[in-house]
Chain A
Amino acid sequence: MASSSAPKYNSHSLESSSIKRTLKDGANWEKSEEIPRLPGETRVTDKDVIYMCPFNGPVKGRLYITNYRLYLRSVENDPVVVLDVPLGVISRIEKMGGASSRGENSYGLDITCKDLRNLRFALKQEGHSRRDIFEVLTKHAFPQSHNLLFFAFTNEEKFSENGWMVYNPMSEYRRQGLPNERWRVTFINEHYGLCDTYPSLLVVPYNATDDDLKKVAAFRSRNRIPVLSWIHPENQAVIMRCSQPLVGMSGKRNKDDERYLDIIREANGQISKLTIYDARPNVNAVANKATGGGYESEDAYPNAELFFLDIHNIHVMRESLKKLKDIVYPNVEESHWLSSLESTHWLEHIKLVLTGAIQVADKVSSGRSSVLVHCSDGWDRTAQLTSLAMLMLDSYYRTIEGFEVLVQKEWISFGHKFASRIGHGDKNHADADRSPIFLQFIDCVWQMSKQFPTAFEFNEQLLITILDHLYSCRFGTFLYNSESVREKEKVTEKTLSLWSLINSEKSKYTNPFYSKELNRALYPVASMRHLELWVNYYIRWNPRIRQQQPNPVEQRYMELLALRDDYMRRLEELQITNNSKIPNSSASSTSPSQMMSQVQTHF
């Protein structure tokens, strides 16, 4: 769905269980034709429009609006053009043209989407048709601004798996071998009293009391104290995450914080220094002192080594993505593709994030020291770094379930502000809080999976599906800014988890080339020679640039797998018949070599 051409080539589209039906001929198609609808989805309105397809020109069609989606079906084109866009994807709706507009198709609506495309619909200049559509769309696309519920709360889909069961912090920490004699689980934040943007369950050094934690919280931005994200199973070095210390202009110090970091340093049983990675560029960290923040100075933390990772702030990332959209949508910059791509800096940012994560992972893996990661608040760049480093170090996170756990843990539970960054159901499209931080993380994961095509259990489709539902508001997974709000809104009771959809259809998201390898550190090469623009995501709306689906290499591999299984079955049969000494003449008379040529596999 959601692309401008026939459904059957629509492989890049948003996942949905929508029923795709071919257009039936006949005058009353309008009545007989149903649009795909989820349980709980209700039709609101429909209207004849002209879809101004940037690739194929104007398309006459009928636009249906439900409380979940915008759906367009062409009336004249063959093959039928279908657009299927969840309203959550909409970032901005603008009216184009006025009552006096003369030009053909110049009167209508221009819709900007969060997934890097724009939709334009031309309408007739009569009645209040545009006003009606505009109002309906605005209301349902921005429920937050209209005191309405997200569709996730009305969604009545049923899945065979319950995605809310995927992540249980206690079992995840147990999987890591925690708690142990050096690390303990604390419930100090059970009612989010210590830190309202952290999860209720935290892992902290055994030697730090809950009282210590409270004191440390006073010295960390938004009380986001250093807590454990991951522990190396062999060398016991850990990845800790937190926010910046509240040093300020005067260079304040805090004995408790200093002591706390020392306890962390010692907890891996070695006497090496603690390595602190400040994700920000040095200048920004310094500048933060003016607003009360800052970084760990050498004087105050003599046993720590501080490195800046030079990753830019959310505003820079937002601008970069905007520039990227400009060169890929609607048309791909032709003549100077490479320099245009470079001027967006998108891949350079990716490179820096990956480079930072590699440094974190390498430090921990080499066992030289434990690592503390922070940026300003510790919910954007910090989440990117810790989760990517964990992905590099722990092969569990490279499985489908493990990846869900990783996202759930490092992003959702640790308060990446999804609501603010994505602006779910919020009409305020220009909010300075918006930023594609999570998209950037998924892009980094994609780059890794591209460099190591056999290391991940999941495929590209999983990543695209996650991104699609990051915006769709069909699931509760990415709604709200923190665990505490989610608890208040009863998200797990009232909505479905995206992981329910995915885990019910795992085969769709499975990479056939996956080779399970345990405890293997996976370091991508953060070089522009290997980084690529994720065409299948960023340029997926352009019918001219489309990867073959299904991937031919994958397809042939699957054929081989089927052949192997068939051989194994036949061999078993043969062995049984041969053992029973009954001469066999009919059933399996096809010789293997003949079969080989049937599947046309060349040796």
Chain B
Amino acid sequence: RKDEILLCEASTVYKYIQEDGSNRGTYGKLVCTNFKIAFLDDDSTSDDNEPQFKNKIIGENDITLQCVDQIYGVYDEKKKLLTGQLRKYPEKLIIYCKDLRVFNFCLRYTKEEEVKRIVSGIIHHSQTPKLLKRLFLFSYASAAPNNTDGRNQTVMFDTLEDWRDELERTKGNVQYKAVSTNEGYRVSEKLPLYFVVPICVSEESILKYEGRGIPIWCWSCHNGAALLKMSAFPKEQDDSTSQMQKAFLDGIYRTIRKPPYELLKTDDLSSSLPSLQEIQTAYTRFKQLFLIDNSTDFWATDVKWFSLLESTNWLEIIRRVLKKAIEVVECLERQHTNVLLIEETATDLCCVISSLVQVMMDSYSRTKLGFQSLIQKEWVIGGHGFLDRCNHLHKSDKEEAPVFLLLLNCVWQLVQQYPPAFEFTETYLTVLSDSLYVPIFSTFFFNSQHQKDTTMTGEILKTQSSPFRFLTVWDWSVQFDLKAQAFLNNPLYAEKPKPEKSQRKTARFKHQRQLSLPLTQTKSSPKRGFFREETDHLIKNILGKRIGKFINSSDEPPNSFREFYDSWHSKPIDYHGLLLPRIDGPEIKVWAQRYLRWIPEAQLHGGGTIAIAAKILDLMEEVQNLQVKMDEEHSQAVSGDTHAVPMLRNYARLSSLFPFALLQRQSVKPALPTSTWKDLEDEDDLVKRDDEFVDLSDML
């Protein structure tokens, strides 16, 4: 590739095949470019076994520089973390990747000079601070092939029109408006060019505190209640300033609580959810459990697996986040209350909660396009600091926090609990999470729209190269060919019955699930009459007065959440309606596909969910063939509209790691735990007893 520059290389590097813990492996060349670290197999003829699910950009032995998590060196059998300048060079190099792969390279047979160069090169290019413009993105963008994928219909939310369409889709346009106040970023560099605010909010107030203290619209519920987010004022030392800010906020709240806005519930996420620091700590511990060196390591951690998992706190965080999202849903859905999420910048946990709420309430967000548009709206344009949170530039470890991964983990819980409700598969979520570290897409490599725009114009001016364009991750054809892309589509998706008229306009959904609760008896007629709505407001006003001006989460009747949750779960599921995750302890699971996919010991030969998926795909193919035959019998033209169905039939015994790890176990030896049983200290007397108290010697 002409845009990729070779930085250093070393030959006769020996790469261990992780698979069996033996020292089997292959010799090859280890190279480091401005894009990736790659191992080039000397014996490249083994390519006849083309995998079905192949990433076109990242090969099996490629690690993008941003994907490197930690690098360890092995000195005399001892592992040491490698950072900065090295005095001594290791015999073995272990690279842990953010997509959870582990690479073991032996440098014993490599020339000393080359070892020095490659090791320090890899450390330097993957672990030290970097300038934004040195990201591969920029080299790639100028040289990118200009083949726009016309089918990419993801709404990017970079135009006023996109926001207006979204308002119309959700029927939010009665009470909210899209504004262009931030054109030229005159309000704030953190806010997108276009966004949506309540109609009553003036341009003046938006400008006043650089967009802080302004409720920004995320989404409107079918009943008119809206989900809003707001970036809070920083804690002020100066009393008068904070007084002024308070007055300003009161004014804003007053305006937006005027009819037709009614009630507003505020939720300060920085106090009701774990901090970013806690999230980062939890994930760091959690992912470490899956970066397994060898079989011994695997079985040693297996003994205490559940308490190890629990001690990371990651699953508990997922549970809390899902619970918070359900609370917000309850307000919107049952109490018809607007919800305002507050966070310092409104670009981290706000994004998680608002996205989850939409995934749960808006079935459009469960389609591929809808989900992608949602990510664009809340995260990419919404201003989530991907660059800092992923620490792509190694600028500051303090800023790092896996906020987006947290969302994907939460969405995965929903996907596995309600498979027919999603148009995409868990594989889609997994490759999306991997794409966080692929620096050829602009999607996850900027902190804000402003940063992207300014950097881009700067680059164009400087290089004067006109066809400068970034790729979006949503163009899946860049990474996967059609056959592989088929793995991203859920064959079980219960597609929504297509309405007669244009789909876009009628995208509003109806909740078929009845909530036999006080305020929501309106569902009987799909079209809500004028009178009906009036009484609703009436009730809400009365209720509002009774409860008080603000409902804070702490004031809430404690049972309302449980009641809402239980009542929903006791009814049959409408996959196009409201979807609430089950959050009891046993229901929150480890995303096995993402976290176990490279671990050979965890492989189920011929098992796992892929075994069922393969059956379903087989059957689908059969049905499609029948369809073609029938069309032929009808002597109609063969419809060219059939989507690619992955062919799995020759793979009767797929591994559960499919489609990821390309391990092919030679033997069918079962994996046996090597760890030993630990004592049952507390039950010692029981342990020593025999099954039955019969003295056998008496029987002789």
Which A residues are within 8 Å of any B CB, using their own CB? 5, 9, 218, 221-222, 246, 248, 281, 283-284, 287-288, 291-293, 310, 312-316, 319, 332-342, 345, 347-348, 351-352, 355, 358-359, 361-362, 366, 375-377, 380, 432-433, 451-455, 513, 515, 517, 520-530, 533, 535, 539, 543-546, 548, 552-553, 556-557, 560-561, 563-564, 567-568, 570-571, 574-575, 578, 591-593, 596-597, 600-603
Partner of A362, one of B305, B570, B620, B669: B669
Interface residues of B in 388-436 (CB under 8 A from A): 418-420, 423
Partner of A338, one of B585, B602, B642: B585
Given contacts A291-B694, A312-B687, A601-B495, whether A552 and B418 have CB atoms under 8 Å apart is yes
Q: Are A319 and B494 in contact (CB under 8 A)?
A: no
Q: Are B306 and A528 in contact (CB under 8 A)?
A: yes
Report how far A5 CA is from B315 CA in the complex, Å.
Answer: 30
Interface residues of B in 586-629 (CB under 8 A from A): 586-587, 590, 592, 596, 599, 601-609, 611-612, 615-616, 619-620, 622-624, 626-627, 629
19 intermolecular pairs with C-beta atoms under 8 Å apart = A284-B687, A291-B690, A291-B694, A310-B677, A333-B585, A361-B670, A376-B691, A452-B611, A515-B652, A527-B305, A543-B566, A544-B569, A552-B420, A552-B575, A556-B492, A570-B630, A592-B626, A602-B423, A602-B491
Q: Are B489 and A602 in contact (CB under 8 A)?
A: yes
Report how far A513 CA is from B302 CA in the complex, Å.
Answer: 30
Q: Are A522 and B606 in contact (CB under 8 A)?
A: yes
Which of B643, B697, B700 has the largest number of chain A CB atoms within 10 A?
B697
Q: Are B680 and A341 in contact (CB under 8 A)?
A: no
Report how far A428 CA is from B309 CA in the complex, Å.
Answer: 40
In the complex, which residue of chain B has the Cβ closest to the Cβ of A437?
A: B691
Report how far A593 CA is from B490 CA in the complex, Å.
Answer: 19
Interface residues of B in 611-667 (CB under 8 A from A): 611-612, 615-616, 619-620, 622-624, 626-627, 629-631, 633-634, 636, 639, 641-643, 645, 652, 656
Q: Are B677 and A338 in contact (CB under 8 A)?
A: no
Report how far A347 CA is from B611 CA in the complex, Å.
Answer: 24
Contacts of B619 in A (CB 8 A): 557, 560-561, 564
Contacts of A602 in B (CB 8 A): 423, 489-491, 493-495
In the complex, which residue of chain A has the Cβ closest to the Cβ of B586?
A: A535
Interface residues of B in 478-495 (CB under 8 A from A): 489-495
Q: Are A452 and B626 in contact (CB under 8 A)?
A: no
Q: Are A9 and B570 in contact (CB under 8 A)?
A: yes
B668 at the interface (CB under 8 A from A): yes
Which B residues are within 8 Å of any A CB, using their own CB? 298-299, 302-307, 309-310, 315-316, 418-420, 423, 489-498, 566, 569-570, 573, 575, 582, 584-587, 590, 592, 596, 599, 601-609, 611-612, 615-616, 619-620, 622-624, 626-627, 629-631, 633-634, 636, 639, 641-643, 645, 652, 656, 668-673, 676-677, 680, 683, 686-700
Report how far A432 CA is from B686 CA in the complex, Å.
Answer: 11
Q: Are A567 and B623 in contact (CB under 8 A)?
A: yes
Report how far A548 CA is from B416 CA in the complex, Å.
Answer: 12
Given contacts A338-B310, A528-B305, whether A313 and B686 have CB atoms under 8 Å apart is yes
Q: Are A548 and B566 in contact (CB under 8 A)?
A: no
Partner of B584, one of A287, A334, A451, A517: A334
Q: Are A315 and B686 in contact (CB under 8 A)?
A: yes
Q: Taking the nearest CB of chain B, how far is it from the CB of A30, in angstroms?
A: 27
Q: Are A529 and B302 in contact (CB under 8 A)?
A: yes
Q: Taking the nearest CB of chain A, how far is it from the CB of B295, in angstroms?
A: 11
Contacts of A451 in B (CB 8 A): 604, 607-608, 656
Partner of A567, one of B298, B584, B630: B630
Partner of A556, one of B494, B607, B639: B494
Q: Are B692 and A433 in contact (CB under 8 A)?
A: yes
Q: Taking the nearest CB of chain A, how far is it from the CB of B116, in angstroms?
A: 39
Contacts of B626 in A (CB 8 A): 564, 567-568, 571, 592
Contacts of A292 in B (CB 8 A): 695-700
Contacts of A222 in B (CB 8 A): 699
Contacts of A592 in B (CB 8 A): 626-627, 630-631
In the complex, which residue of chain B has the Cβ closest to the Cβ of A589?
A: B634
Report how far A513 CA is from B303 CA in the complex, Å.
Answer: 32
Contacts of B686 in A (CB 8 A): 313, 315-316, 319
Given contacts A313-B687, A314-B691, A515-B615, whether A526 and B673 have CB atoms under 8 Å apart is yes
Q: Are B670 and A362 in contact (CB under 8 A)?
A: yes
Q: Are A600 and B612 in contact (CB under 8 A)?
A: no
Q: Are B494 and A591 in contact (CB under 8 A)?
A: no
Given contacts A453-B609, A530-B602, A535-B586, whether A339 and B306 have CB atoms under 8 Å apart is yes
Partner of A455, one of B491, B493, B607: B607
Given contacts A543-B570, A602-B490, whether A533 and B586 have CB atoms under 8 Å apart is yes
Partner of B627, one of A288, A291, A596: A596
Report how far A575 CA is from B634 CA in the complex, Å.
Answer: 10
Report how far A358 CA is from B491 CA in the complex, Å.
Answer: 34
Q: Taking the nearest CB of chain B, how far is it from the CB of A346, in angstroms?
A: 11
Given pairs A248-B696, A529-B596, A592-B631, 12 additional interface contacts (CB within 8 A): A292-B698, A338-B585, A348-B677, A380-B691, A525-B601, A552-B420, A553-B419, A556-B616, A571-B626, A575-B633, A591-B634, A600-B494
Partner of B692, one of A283, A335, A377, A535: A377
Q: Which 4 pairs between the two chains have the least Cβ-Cβ distance?
A: A337-B585, A292-B697, A292-B696, A523-B670
Q: Taking the nearest CB of chain A, how far is it from the CB of B363, in angstroms?
A: 13
Report how far A476 CA is from B686 CA in the complex, Å.
Answer: 32
In the complex, which residue of chain B has the Cβ closest to the Cβ of A380?
A: B691
Report how far A592 CA is from B636 CA in the complex, Å.
Answer: 11
Q: Taking the nearest CB of chain B, how far is it from the CB of A334, in angstroms?
A: 6
Contacts of B615 in A (CB 8 A): 454, 513, 515, 557
Which of B306, B495, B596, B612 has the largest number of chain A CB atoms within 10 A?
B306
Report how far A571 CA is from B587 CA in the complex, Å.
Answer: 44
Q: Taking the nearest CB of chain A, how far is it from the CB of B598, in angstroms?
A: 13
Report how far A444 CA is from B506 CA in the complex, Å.
Answer: 49
Given contacts A291-B695, A312-B687, A529-B596, whether A453 and B611 have CB atoms under 8 Å apart is yes
Report how far A527 CA is from B304 CA in the complex, Å.
Answer: 11
In the complex, which residue of chain A has the Cβ closest to the Cβ of B619?
A: A560
Given contacts A291-B694, A535-B586, A571-B629, whether A342 and B680 have CB atoms under 8 Å apart is no
